[in-house]
Amino acid sequence: MLRLGLCCLFKEAPIRFRTTTATVLMALPREKALVKLAELCLANAAALSGALDYCAAHGIGCFRINSQILPVKTHPEAGYHVAELPESIRAAFLACGEKRRSLDLRLTFHPDQFVLLNSPRPDVIRQAIADLAYQAEVAEWVGADVLNIHGGGVYGDKPAALARLVEAIHLLPSAIRSRLTLENDDRSYTPQDLLPVCHSTGVPLVYDVHHHRCLPDALSVEEATAAAIATWDREPLFHLSSPRNGWGNGDPKPHHDFIDPADFPACWRQLDATVEVEAKAKEVAIARLAAFHPPIPRLW
């Protein structure tokens, strides 16, 4: 059976995640900054618990956790260690993990676009690994099985950039690597580009069909779907979105508020997989999409 996934935020449901900035934190004495951070982290654990309840009640089988669930965690100056915060924060996220298991929900992460494992700059790679390590730690607490990143930049030499990506993946600690996935994007790396990396590293491919339609290669949607599934040792994950102005009306990359049912690949309908819905109307878009597909109105 398919399950649809909600990405990070809600459009109408009264569930909100809180954040702050490094500038705000650095204007405070360290002790007060940590008190503020503890408050935000506890509030976000409560919001995640509420998100799980909402998803379970509305037939949404997966929730993507925002990368700032622990705000400013890895900032070089304003960042902090979990040990500097009250133990109640970790306990609150562990409780979310228990709830996830009891509700049979899936949780994922999609680190920000600046998490680049194939940069030619060692400092950029070090920061990327720090971000991944933090999200892997929270993923361990809550039982998330995906840390999804894009291939990164091309830097004028795609083969060399891909070779650096493979090298970096092989050096990752198991807590990251066991959850890491690669996603084709709409500017640089197609499924055909990333599949050899997936095969050589054992990292699954998150197939984004919208990105593939924006940046096609020799593979059809059906072929790319089958090739992506073959890289997974657990439930495959796909991404779905529709262009804001439709196809053939300018740049198709920006996402629409909703999903055009015609953009849902027919070959996905009978799969055992997760489809994260990348639409700006969030849970409203998922409800509308499910209504267009009577064979799969409850998707998990």
Res 295 pLDDT > 50: no
Domain 2-292 - what CATH class? alpha beta
| 256-271 per-position pLDDT tens digit | 999 999 999 999 998 9
Give me the pLDDT at residue 291, please. 86
Q: What is the pTM of this model?
A: 0.95
Give the whole-angstrom CA distance, residue 220 versus residue 135. 33
Q: Are 204 and 198 in contact (CB under 8 A)?
A: yes
Domain boundaries, the chain: 2-292
- Cα 237 to the chain's mean position, in Å? 10
For the chain, the C-alpha Rg in angstroms (whole number) is 19
- Type of residue found at 126: R
23 by DSSP, 3-state: which? Answer: helix
Strand segments (E) across 178-289: 180-183, 205-208, 237-240, 273-277
List, in sequence order, every residue forming a beta bridge with 109; answer none if it has no partner: 65, 147
| 202-215 per-position pLDDT tens digit | 999 999 999 999 99
Res 292 pLDDT > 90: no
